Amino acid sequence: MSDIAILKSLLSKNEMIYPPISIDSFSSKWNLMTSSTNGIIGNLLFLLTAGLMVARYLIKLPTISLESTFTINPAEAMYSAIKVFVLTLFHFKYNQRFFDEIITRFKAINIDFDDQTRKYFWTRRAAYRILMLLGYMPRVYYCIVIYKYSWPHQSSDQTPKLYSISARLNDDPLNYWTSLFASLLSIPLSLFHDLAFIDLAMLVQSALYYINNQVTAISKEMNIDGSKLDCKAVKTLRWQYLLVHRLVDKSSSLTNLCTFGLISYYMTFFIFCFYTLAFDDHILPIKISTILQTSGILIVLCLIIHAVVTIYTKSQESLPTLYKLSFETESFQILNEISLFLYRIGFNDVGFSFGGIFMITPDFISTLAAVTITVIIAIPSFVVPSS
């Protein structure tokens, strides 16, 4: 279903029939095509892309010396290494077997019949995708401007004097063309990785959305007609919550390391762009494109963080309602089911973790933001003034 068509229907307030929940899209098909299980084609595409990403640094190896001037920018090398790490992760982990197992575990939760859940999935997914594309557009514009002013075949008097990256690219035509082809490949690949990651997060979000809706509906029904709590309904929801946990557990083989890679990549990229904007001299077109690119990176970073944090917050959303229901029943059997449900929520946190170390929660994001701001503030102390 077209993302634009979904948003148009929401803006026009026209009711529409949403299709079954699915993460089968062009981005997922591309990632499956470049996976390690796709034979020679997948492996060749991976080697070509990874090779181009690191080629701009490999071609500089003969010129590296032990003198005080270091010819490779450490920040660029760092976020390029993280980019290759994410590419390698998707190549080996995001394969057809992984994709099929995720779909099977999601279908086992048995929530695809619910219209509200379908609407939640497709509308949120469309919003994420459109905002993600908007976040990538400034990066494309930045590359166009950079490679325009870095054209290696122009005369020396046409070369911008006030931009260090352009000067580095102009010094070596091989470096220019290698960087250009690497950008042409890395930008769409990064977009496909981000969209596939968002799709996995949306599956978990949708499942938790359905469970929270059902818990709220049971509570409202009791308040309206004073009916007794249905033990079977609570038991079914508890079982579905367990299946959601198993879905997250299966996807964690990719998402935990992917969360680490994507957040680290965009944080490093954002800090590098901020540093470049603050301490490098620019001509006006490059300065504008750098500001736009920094804003775009921040948009993409916020989208990824929001998608991950929402999983955790939704996994805890039913706790107050369940506690309230536990005081409104006199049945020991129902109370036991609610207690088991509460224990399941409290004992097993549902969400993606940062490299399998920290659960991504609002508190974690606050800490990460504080560390990033600290690094940005500390940047001037590491800048050596030019003599």
User: Mind listing the pLDDT tens digit for each residue in 75-90?
Assistant: 666 767 888 888 888 9
| pLDDT the model gives residue 163 | 45
| pLDDT the model gives residue 14 | 65
Reference 218, options 351, 84, 324, 355; nearest CA is 324
Residues of the chain short of pLDDT 50, as ranges, are 62-66, 68-70, 159, 161-167, 170, 385-387
Q: Is residue 182 part of a domain?
A: yes
* Residues contacting 151, CB < 8 A, separation 6+: 170, 176
The CA-to-CA distance between both ends of the chain, in Å, stands at: 59
Q: Is residue 187 part of a domain?
A: yes
Q: Is residue 73 part of a domain?
A: yes
Which residues lie across from 354 on neighbouring strands?
A: 358
Q: Is residue 250 part of a domain?
A: yes
**CA 295 to chain CA mean position, Å:** 16
> DSSP 3-state assignment of 354?
strand
The total domain count for the chain is: 1
Range of the domain at 270: 3-382
| pLDDT the model gives residue 253 | 87
- DSSP character string of 273-295: HHHHHHHS---HHHHHHHHHHHH
Q: Is residue 344 part of a domain?
A: yes
Q: Is residue 331 part of a domain?
A: yes
Q: Is residue 387 part of a domain?
A: no
Which residues lie across from 353 on neighbouring strands?
A: 359
Q: What pTM, to 2 d.p., does this model score?
A: 0.85
Q: Is residue 308 part of a domain?
A: yes
Cα(195)–Cα(262) distance, integer angstroms: 12
| pLDDT the model gives residue 272 | 79
Which ranges in the chain belong to alpha helices (H)? 3-11, 26-33, 39-58, 74-93, 96-109, 115-149, 164-171, 173-225, 231-279, 284-315, 319-326, 332-347, 362-382
* Residues contacting 34, CB < 8 A, separation 6+: 42, 45, 46, 49, 90, 91
